[in-house]
Structure 1
Amino acid sequence: MHYAPDTVQRRWSSPLGAARLAATPRGLAGFWFEHQRHWPAALLDGPPPLAEHPCAHPVLDAAEQQLAEYFAGRRDHFTVPLELPRATPFQHAVWQALRAVPHGRTSSYGALAERIGRPAAVRAVGAAVGRNPVSIIVPCHRVLGSGGGLTGYAGGLERKAALLALEGAQAARAIA
């Protein structure tokens, strides 16, 4: 994945652990729990690392505010603008399908594959979900295995379970 040259980052202490946000002046480009699977080390840890932006930044500030409201149970969708990194059209289609899974509901990898018109691409959908650069805001944690079990979350299954519990999601409330 390729990020715009004017991308900056900021550390944020989430209720589920240290995280990093990345943004351009146009939108949020990333949210990762520190050192999660698919952590973009070359981008965030250098050399040279993405510039740290501790001062006011409208997009980073809005993302932090909305994430804090989400964790406090006062927000069920995000309005911060996104500027997702350059990726494949397939990955972007999967990430767009993730955004359609409502708060408090879940989906399966197979259902996402169906939704994007690629029913045989379940494994590829799983790989694209795992590489989602904007965790929580593009809700990859809402995707469960075909049997409704917790599977694959780059931030760790404990975090996935905590996010689903925060939203009151249950496998029985899954959407097709």
Structure 2
Amino acid sequence: MPKALGIANGEQWAYKTRVARGPLAPVLILNASPPYESSIMVRRLDTGEQFWTHRARLPCLWEEREAWYETHPQFRGGTEFLPSPPDQDGPTRVPMTRLPITDIERIRKVVRSELEERLNIPRLALTIAELAAAMGVSDDQLYKHVRNGDLTPRYSGTRMVVPMDEAIRFINELPDEDLGPL
């Protein structure tokens, strides 16, 4: 059986649906196209819909989807589409849990703070958002101080961080009275 881009006719592959970060759907490869062409004719096994798609929308074989989900957890969620058993009409839907990105970020912060607390890892630097929250000012206010040269951040790649000693120096050098807008 000839293969195009590692895909052969008659195989079942997982298809990334058009839903942003939605679950995978099973498709049957109908026409794998000649090598070096990215368009592949498929039929969705849950809806029967037949269409051309790009190789990039087929991340893995259907039976390998659990391993793929482990490295791409953002796609696990919503409802996974499964082919209908012969005695049922329509697709079988298996509910799966999906956390909104804001909840995931909140969980990461909790885990990070728990690790820092348990391992007694001292903070060496703060992000602009963390320093702004600690000072009770806006991020924009601190970015103005960076542009004016009052606050000197360091960079880890493209991420701006303020070392603790610089943050303390900056706070200690703030005026004792309101001088108006920057």
Q: Which of structures 1 and 2 has the bigger CA Rg?
A: 2
Q: TM-score range by the shorter chain?
A: under 0.3
Looking at secondary structure, tell me which structure has more strand per residue. Answer: 2
TM-score (norm 1): 0.19
